[in-house]
Amino acid sequence: MMIKAVFLDFYNTICYFVPSRDERQAQACREFGHAVKPEAFWRAYVVGEDYWTEANARYAIAKRSPAESEAFYAAYEQVLLRAAGLEVNREQALEIYRRYSRMERSLSIFDDVGPTLRELRGRGLVVGLISNTDRDAGPMCAELGVAEHFDFVLSSCLVGFEKPDPRIFQLALEKAGVAPHEAIHVGDQYKSDVAGALAAGIQPLLLDRYGMLGHLDGCPHIASLREITRYLR
């Protein structure tokens, strides 16, 4: 089997927020009188992301009414906070989420991104980005200085499908001009990146930068994007 294309997730795979979402969640909790350490959210986000993915697959959040969206964000935040060790009611959870979502933040790329993308392109591979995002990831890649390394960018808000829907992966395969067994997809979320890639017949690599996903199996784990080259056979 010859790998001809590598697809990458966006958030928490090639870039991260500054301040981190953990720090912002902890700050929002403090403002409402709750002491929660940022590190409590490391594992909590694994639970929260699974909840978000499952709920979105049942009924796309982008298609919900304002009232339905508000109810979802309250429930999601409540799940996240409970996983971090804080029990609050739906109203309090929504207040914390609103404060968190209004906090200023910026994006920065991980140190392994540039070297890895250059290595992949140097090998003649097609490199694509597949992101669940509510705005076009293309301009964000340009702002981060990595747009030139991608042959294409697929943003769910533009194509109409979100991971784990296999159709967004199938579209990536079409753009890359490769068969499913000729591609690898790398991402940090099991239920969207891994499950979606497998449904499309693509080999997934689960990126576990912080060692929080050891309980998940069914595909190889990597701790850095530099490890992708081990799977380019």
Which of these ranges, 114-123, 179-188, 207-216, has the smallest mean pLDDT?
Answer: 207-216
**Rounded average pLDDT over 155-160:** 92
pTM value is 0.93
Above 80 in pLDDT, residue 233? no
**Rounded average pLDDT over 168-177:** 98
Is residue 56 helix, strand or coil? helix
| Mean pLDDT value across the chain | 95
Helix (H) or strand (E) holding 172: helix 166-176
Domains of the chain in start order, with CATH, are 5-16+108-231 (3.40.50.1000), 20-104 (1.10.150)
Is residue 133 helix, strand or coil? coil
CA–CA distance, 205 with 208 (Å, rounded to integer): 9
- Helices and strands counted in the chain (H then E): 9, 8
